[in-house]
Structure 1
């Protein structure tokens, strides 16, 4: 019974929604979806309408009126509220934090002195090579080659992790 009702009402609903959509400022598909939902709710509670075609026409007009009222009251934001500060949104901040955690986790798994060297290089204190060399107890001249070796290890480690995913 329900399948027959849906297939019978589909062309009428499409035509009615198309006719009302422009005047109401709503999308045709949105009107159709709202009416199908109302029909399903009605089928669950009171059963199929006695006059299905008349019911569809009235339901489409009712949804179109509701859409017009809503459009008068609701105003879209020019920008997303979270973007008002001009900075990255919450999704971008969460993704950046996740990337930083992954990077620091990978740095901790590096061999030898690499974890301490990379942590010093990634430090928010922006240490100079001299300060890093003093902190690690190595010569400033060996810092560049050591950094290059550690970056190579980190690159290989992250490449295998990304490929594994």
Structure 2
């Protein structure tokens, strides 16, 4: 896995952003059985930056905690065989041969405020947002109640396995 980090706001936490993001992302890919070499971009921004992206790309005129921009179009969530088919040409980085998997955008301010709100560390909140976003990059969604339950369980399982709990 290749991970690109663009810390637009020079966010600083008491953990290494890239280390935690890679660790959680790899755990999600492993739990989903993705054997492809992938490239993921992570942008750390602020309320203003994520508000602009949310408005421009999703038509939602407000800031949020995390945005996910998957590059893969799945027939079924977690079915990575689509990356071997016709879409493969559009997904490959010609320089590396890796799948350009997608982009994650995290709002630094929400990491901090939601950690306080939920009573856990900023590292746990950041890890949760990465896991959540990675599942979106794997084709999962939470628009329906049953979909949300699947995502919640997968997020919890990955974070529990890594020992990143709410406590």
Structure number with greater CO (CA < 8 Å, separation at least 6) is 2
Larger radius of gyration: 1
More helix by share: 1
More strand by share: 2
